[in-house]
A and B are shown apart, each in its own frame.
Chain A
Amino acid sequence: MELNQLTAHELLEKLKAQQTTPEAILDSLYARIQKIEPQVKAYVRGQACLPSTSSQADLPSVGDRHACPLRGLPITIKDNICTEGLPTECCSKILQGFRPPYDATVIDKLKKSGAVIFPLKANMDEFAFGSSTENSYFGPTRNPWNLDYVPGGSSGGSAAAVASDEAIWALGSDTGGSIRQPASFCGVVGLKPTYGRVSRFGLIAFASSLDQIGPITKDVQDAAILTGLISGYDPGDSTSVNQDVPDYTKSLTGDIKNLKIGIPKEYFIAGMDEEVKTIIQEAVNKLKDLGALANSVSLPHTEYAVPVYYIIATAEASSNLARFDGVQYGYRASSDNLIQMYKLTRAQGFGQEAKRRIILGTFVLSHGYYDAYYLRALKVRTLIKQDFDKVFGEFDCIVAPTSPTSAFKIGERAQDPLSMYLSDIYTISANLAGIPAISIPCGFTKKGLPVGLQIMAKPFNEAMLFRVAHTFEQNTDWHKFKTKL
């Protein structure tokens, strides 16, 4: 096995034992990228930005390496998380050339833990608007399992990079499934933490009340390590919660005996891929075999999740994206008239999906529609949250599919936004309710495309997710499969 194929915890063991160096790990990644990146396109702004050898990389000094938990291990970052001095453009033309003068809190934490921020940023749907990474200004990323298929989105670049061993591990962001759905499509592990668990400072906002940064990794142990490192209260983010961060690796006990698992009946409906349904049912059976007690539960307001989400998320996005006006940074269309400059900059700078969501969000906040749409959506959001509260009163976790289908073909849904929106039907509720949810590999379709199993728990109980996910993983082989690239 090449170094780049290993998990982070395996590499950390090697680094600790001085069997390898961060330089060697970076070199193996560079070699892999040289070889397969032209096909996968997980990263953006090309290999021109990539150093020819690792010596040019910003590595922590040898002394520091051993003092820090990550010992110079590289990590791949989604293009919407601010990295000081490194381009951060949300894969949008409108942020062209933007190099933040600050690090996101998560980046700061990772650097202090001894991580090397990988110099290339991961591809994504523009401003995280999408479920396929086709909406990137830089063009689509391809699914490493089958290059004709999408990797999911919006963190498709991060997921594809991890799945194809172009990254050891990565950070993504999840507003309605943007970590879990691509993790599911690419056969890797992806966690959306509890809202408030991880600081959003430096994450370029899509929908502030829903966004969370989270890990995309090769196995559950890596996810537990990374979540622990990026979590915690940040005085710079008023919505982050001041609650202790447990050592998540301690929850990897391998024991789920007598855990009560709820299977939401509303998630197994018409439109769901039969093959996926079977794979999920087998996974549930596996959990039962391992000692869990599974029962059907009801989340009655599930059917409203998608419409509620597209009202709240677009409303917030329409306001969050107002600042991209060409005045201070990023792309600016030239005009001698201010209003015209605004109009041209935004007309030329935003892609089609961004425009669609800005218009939708502007509409639902407009006078006369606010009560009918936005306010009503907030009320239904509360009902959806109460559905979960009720189930978690009795159950330790909820197990469901991550997505109703496996990866779809590039271009297949690009012209049909509604069908694209429905690919997040199982992931959106966790964002609306603010609860943590993880997606782990649980099988492959006959075409050889991965399928993800989603586990959800009550707020701040990420430990439960790691415990169940790890137990399942250790008793299956799905995470061990590698792409043919």
Chain B
Amino acid sequence: MKYQTVIGLEVHLQLNTKTKAFCGCSTDFGKAPNSNVCPVCLGFPGSLPVYNRQALNSAIKLALAFNCQIQEHTKFDRKNYFYPDLPKNYQISQFDLPLSRNGYLDIYTQNLPKRIGITRVHLEEDAGKLIHETGCSLVDFNRTGIPLLEIVSEPDLNSPSEAFDYLNSLKSIIEYLDVSDCDMEKGSLRCDANISLRLLGAKELGVKTELKNMNSFKGVKDALTFEVERQTQLLETNQELVQETRLWDVEKAVTVVMRTKEGAKDYRYFPDPDLTVFIIEESMIAQIKAQLPELPQEKMRRFVKEYGLTEYDAKILVSSKNDAQFAENCIQNYPGEDKKEIVNWLIGPLLSEANLRKVKLHALNLNTNELISLIGFVQRQEISYLCAKNVLSQLIDTGKTTQDLIQEGNLQQISNADALSEVIETVIHENAKSVSDFKAGKTNALMYLVGQVMKKSSGKANPKVVGDLVRRRLS
């Protein structure tokens, strides 16, 4: 690797407050166009903005979770530019005194911890939405004025997958704080990326590209990966890189030029005279701090300490707040000494079931007691692990009890030699080649024969007992 990749991300996050940032309009998504509007968010003449305290609260909460310094005096500024989705032709934003800055986020990337700097987190208002139809363009102002947080990272990310891991950590924390629904498809989370390459060891940053139009975390990763290759190729062939904004085309999986830098835009920022300076007092910060929930990193460390989980397992379980809660409930109710036993079920069969159904662990709506009961059956060797996995699937689908499912399916494990001998004889008879292989010293052949017995017994046979019986029969 000759080049170092340098990435900084700019995330825009819609807060899930009930009302907009500067007026009382609802923030409900999916309403008829231009129904969540009033003179204030439409920027009608004479209307005035008023702070939404809840939005400020959420913003401070998030800034604290990102270890930012909170500005004691914060103010709002006007960012002036003309665009039809911006009814006042200026956006209420924050310029030189953002709500917070100098924070960081500790992430895990390639199983190693890394600290990513957060330059600033500030509050602003969202713009409306343009809908382009043939022959005309329409404006929907429902989104106008929804509180938006801008979270700017330092250029501390050094690969597309690091950027991906950063976004997931960010999302996880936001979910824990319950300040946004983080849905990239609905546009409640948007991400732009700045990326440049430089020779390893070089101090100066290379020429950067700004990437837009990614609508999933994977899209961000793919666009960045494409861009690393594109830029590497240009550098390798001594071609000039130009500073430009490029759009990710998800269909073609390429980035295309949107605009080249024609000099910095002048937004003529100045303090919004309609909004007074907002003083964030120590007591307010302390109060919000006290209300902060346990965040994923802390929870992970606690799981390791309290329940003896590995960091790897704990990390999987804490990435979602609700999953972590579900997992902890399972672990606490599990009567066994070794919590690893239930954790293996959680991150093994349960997670597979969840992935299969494309839902989160907690959303499987699995009764903790039934899960614990099922594990008990396996441990007492009353049913096989294989059967148990089937029962798990049915537990999720039917909502019946473990006991009933095992009885209904007649799934009790068969460990009795007499009961198994007939099946074993049949298998030996039908698999002469494997038998001779085994006799010739190929131990794998035994595994195969046991598997055949399991299959014939519909998974009910006790594999350990079957193994012993087959070995004894053939020796």
Residues of A bordering B, CB below 8 Å: 81-82, 88, 90, 95, 98, 100-102, 104, 200-205, 207-209, 235-239, 315-316, 318-319, 322-325, 327-329, 338, 342, 362, 365-367, 370, 374
Contact = CB atoms under 8 A, between A and B. Distances in A.
A95 B203 CA distance: 55
26 contacts: A82-B46, A88-B46, A100-B44, A100-B46, A101-B44, A102-B44, A202-B47, A205-B46, A235-B50, A236-B50, A237-B50, A238-B51, A239-B275, A239-B276, A319-B80, A319-B270, A328-B43, A328-B87, A365-B80, A366-B266, A366-B268, A367-B264, A367-B268, A370-B268, A370-B269, A370-B270
A201 B45 CA distance: 9
A370 to B, nearest CB: 7
Given A104-B46, A318-B80, 13 more contacts: A82-B46, A100-B45, A102-B39, A102-B47, A201-B48, A236-B50, A238-B48, A239-B275, A319-B80, A319-B268, A322-B82, A322-B88, A338-B84
Leading 4 A-B pairs by shortest Cβ distance = A322-B89, A208-B273, A209-B273, A365-B268
Interface string B136-163: 0101000000000000000000000000
Interface in B49-88: 49-51, 78, 80, 82, 84, 87-88
A322 B80 contact: yes
B274 interface: yes
Nearest to B39: A102
Nearest to B266: A367
Nearest to A339: B82
A178 to B, nearest CB: 16
B47 A201 contact: yes
Contacts of A82: 45-46
A202 B39 CA distance: 10
A356 B82 CA distance: 19
A239 B274 contact: yes
A477 to B, nearest CB: 39
Contacts of B266: 366-367
A51 to B, nearest CB: 25
Task: Categorize the interface residue count of chain B.
Answer: 20 to 34
A208 B46 CA distance: 10
B21 to A, nearest CB: 13
Contact of A323 (B43, B137, B269): B43
A482 B451 CA distance: 114
Considering residues B80, B90, B268, which has the most beta carbons from chain A within 10 angstroms of its beta carbon? B268
A322 to B, nearest CB: 4
B270 A374 contact: yes
Contacts of B47: 102, 201-202
Contacts of B88: 322-323
Interface residues of chain B: helix, strand, loop or mixed (majority): loop
Nearest to B270: A365
B105 interface: no
A322 B51 CA distance: 22
A238 B50 contact: yes
A381 to B, nearest CB: 12
Contacts of B78: 319
B139 A327 contact: yes
A316 B268 CA distance: 11
Interface string B18-42: 0000000000000000000001001
Nearest to B45: A204
A366 B269 CA distance: 8
A323 B39 contact: no
Contacts of B264: 367
Nearest to B137: A338
A316 B272 CA distance: 9
A104 B48 CA distance: 11
A235 B273 CA distance: 16
Contacts of B48: 200-201, 236-238
B87 A322 contact: no
A98 to B, nearest CB: 7
Contacts of B80: 318-319, 322, 365
A319 B90 contact: yes
Interface in B243-301: 264, 266, 268-270, 273-276
Contact of A322 (B44, B90, B139, B269): B90
A104 B137 CA distance: 32
A237 B49 CA distance: 7
Contacts of B82: 322, 325, 342
Considering residues A316, A323, A338, A367, which has the most beta carbons from chain B within 10 angstroms of its beta carbon? A323
A366 B263 CA distance: 14
A325 to B, nearest CB: 6
A202 B47 CA distance: 6
Nearest to A368: B266
A208 B48 CA distance: 10
A397 B444 CA distance: 104
Interface string B400-425: 00000000000000000000000000
B139 A316 contact: no
Nearest to A362: B268
Given A239-B276, A367-B264, A315 B45 contact: no
A318 B90 CA distance: 11
B275 A238 contact: yes
A96 B264 CA distance: 36
A85 to B, nearest CB: 14
A367 B88 CA distance: 21
Contacts of A316: 270, 273
B89 A325 contact: yes
Nearest to A234: B48
Nearest to B141: A328
Nearest to B40: A236
B277 to A, nearest CB: 10
Given A325-B82, A327-B87, A327-B139, A203 B274 contact: no
Given A102-B39, A367-B266, A238 B45 contact: no
B89 A95 contact: no
B89 A323 contact: yes
Given A322-B90, A325-B89, A365-B268, A238 B46 contact: no
Contacts of A365: 80, 268-270
A448 B159 CA distance: 82
Given A322-B82, A327-B84, A374-B270, A238 B89 contact: no
A389 to B, nearest CB: 19
Contacts of A81: 46
B81 to A, nearest CB: 9
Contacts of A207: 273
B134 to A, nearest CB: 14
B44 A329 contact: yes
A47 to B, nearest CB: 25
A204 to B, nearest CB: 4
Contacts of B39: 100-102
A207 B273 CA distance: 8
A207 B271 CA distance: 12
Contacts of B45: 82, 88, 90, 95, 98, 100, 204-205, 323-324, 329
A233 B207 CA distance: 53
Contacts of A374: 270
Considering residues B80, B82, B273, which has the most beta carbons from chain A within 10 angstroms of its beta carbon? B273
Contacts of B84: 325, 327, 338
Contacts of A95: 45
B145 to A, nearest CB: 14
Considering residues B78, B80, B266, B270, which has the most beta carbons from chain A within 10 angstroms of its beta carbon? B270
Contacts of A327: 84, 87, 139
Nearest to A312: B273
B274 A238 contact: yes
Considering residues A104, A319, A366, which has the most beta carbons from chain B within 10 angstroms of its beta carbon? A319
Contacts of A203: 46
Contacts of B274: 205, 208, 238-239
Nearest to A316: B273
B38 to A, nearest CB: 9
